[in-house]
Amino acid sequence: IGVSVFTFTGDPSSASPINVSLLFGQISNLDDLSLSLETCDGIKICTVVSQGQTRLTRQARFTESVAGNIYIRANVNNANPRLLADLVTIGSTSTAANCTILLGSLDAASLTNLGSVKVGNPLSPQKSRLDFSSFRVYSYLLLRVGSSYNCAQVYNMLEKEVRAVMNMRGISGYFNFRQASPFDVTQLSVNLANLRELFGPYHVHNFPVPSVRSGQCSNDNVGGHCNPFAVDTTSETYPVGPGSTHDKYETGDLGGKHMSLSGRSTFQMTFTDFSLPLFGQNSIVGRSVVIHLVSGDRYACASIGYPGAVTVASATFQTPVVGKIIFTQLVNNPLSDVSIFMDLSYGDPTTITTQHHNWHVHEFPISSERDDDEGRCITTGGHWNPFKISTTDSSYALHCKPSCPLCCEAGDLANKYTTINLDTDIGGVKSKHFFTDVTSWLDISGITGRSVVIHEAERGGPRIACANVTEVRVPTARLGTWFGPVSSGGQVRFSQAVPQGPTEITVSLKNLQSLAGGYHVHILPIIVGSSDPCSDTDILGHFNPLAWNTSSSPSPGVGT
Average pLDDT over residues 170-193: 96
Q: What is the DSSP letter of 552?
A: G
pLDDT (0 to 100) of residue 334: 92
- Name every residue whose Cβ is closer than 8 Å to that of residue 546 and which is 6 or more positions away in sequence: 212, 213, 214
Question: Which residue(s) pair with 324 in the sheet?
Answer: 316, 343
Domain end, chosen from 111, 142, 157, is at 157
Work out whether the CA dihedral 408, 409, 413, 419 comes out positive or negative: negative
Q: 186 and 246 in one domain?
A: yes
| 208 touches 162 (CB < 8 A) | no
Q: 234 and 197 in one domain?
A: yes
pLDDT (0 to 100) of residue 322: 97
pLDDT (0 to 100) of residue 536: 94
% of the chain at pLDDT higher than 90? 70
Q: What is the DSSP letter of 256?
A: H
Using CA atoms of 260, 261, 264, 268 in order, give the dihedral in degrees to the nearest 10: 100
Q: 326 and 465 in one domain?
A: yes
- Res 497 pLDDT > 80: yes
| 287 touches 262 (CB < 8 A) | no
- Name every residue whose Cβ is closer than 8 Å to that of residue 6 and which is 6 or more positions away in sequence: 20, 22, 23, 26, 27
Domain assignment of residue 40, yes or no: yes
pLDDT (0 to 100) of residue 92: 46
Average pLDDT over residues 470-477: 93
Domain assignment of residue 124, yes or no: yes
Q: 331 and 287 in one domain?
A: no
Q: 270 and 239 in one domain?
A: yes
Q: Among 468, 460, 430, which residue's Cα sits nearest to residue 220? A: 430
Domain assignment of residue 90, yes or no: yes
Domain assignment of residue 525, yes or no: no
Task: Give the pTM.
Answer: 0.90
How far is 46 from 49, CA to CA, in rounded Å? 10
Q: 281 and 334 in one domain?
A: no
Q: 179 and 136 in one domain?
A: no
Domain span holding position 252: 160-303
Amino acid, res. 186: T
Q: 146 and 10 in one domain?
A: yes
Using CA atoms of 419, 422, 427, 428 in order, give the dihedral in degrees to the nearest 10: -90
Domain count, the chain: 3
pLDDT (0 to 100) of residue 93: 41
Burial of 478 (0-12, 13-18, 19+ CB in 10 A): exposed
Q: 403 and 288 in one domain?
A: no
Average pLDDT over residues 357-364: 98
| 560 touches 172 (CB < 8 A) | yes
Quickly state the pLDDT bin for 91 (edges 50, 70, 90).
Answer: low
Q: 169 and 249 in one domain?
A: yes
Question: Which residue(s) pair with 312 in the sheet?
Answer: 328
- Res 398 pLDDT > 80: yes
How far is 396 from 41, CA to CA, in rounded Å? 38
Mean pLDDT for the chain overall: 92
Give the Cα-Cα-Cα angle 477, 303, 466 (nearest 5 degrees): 75
Domain end, chosen from 141, 157, 173, is at 157
Tell which wins on pLDDT, 284 or 512. 284
Strands (E), 1-139: 34-38, 44-48, 54-63, 66-75, 82-89, 126-131
User: Which DSSP helix (H) or strand (E) runs through 176?
Assistant: strand 171-179
Domain assignment of residue 510, yes or no: no
What's the Cα-to-Cα distance from 496 to each of 183, 199, 305, 338, 402, rounded to whole Å? Answer: 32, 30, 12, 19, 33
> What radius of gyration do the chain's Cα atoms show?
27
How far is 419 from 357, CA to CA, in rounded Å? 5
Question: For the stretch 499-525, what's the b/e string if a residue is b when 16 or more beta carbons lie within 10 angstroms of its beta carbon?
Answer: bbbeeeeeeeeeeeeeeeeeeeeeeee
Domain assignment of residue 514, yes or no: no
pLDDT (0 to 100) of residue 95: 42
Work out whether the CA dihedral 287, 302, 180, 192 comes out positive or negative: negative
How far is 266 from 128, CA to CA, in rounded Å? 47
Q: Can you give the CATH number for the domain in which 198 is found?
A: 2.60.40.200
| 428 touches 345 (CB < 8 A) | yes
Quickly state the pLDDT bin for 96 (edges 50, 70, 90).
Answer: very low
pLDDT tens track for 33-68: 999 999 888 899 999 999 888 889 999 999 877 889
Domain end, chosen from 157, 173, 204, is at 157
Domain assignment of residue 101, yes or no: yes
Average pLDDT over residues 275-282: 97
Q: Parallel, antiparallel, or unpaired for β 148-156 and 359-362?
A: unpaired
Q: 333 and 273 in one domain?
A: no
Q: 344 and 425 in one domain?
A: yes
Domain assignment of residue 502, yes or no: no
- Name every residue whose Cβ is closer than 8 Å to that of residue 323 and which is 6 or more positions away in sequence: 316, 317, 342, 343, 344, 345, 426, 431
Quickly state the pLDDT bin for 371 (edges 50, 70, 90).
Answer: confident
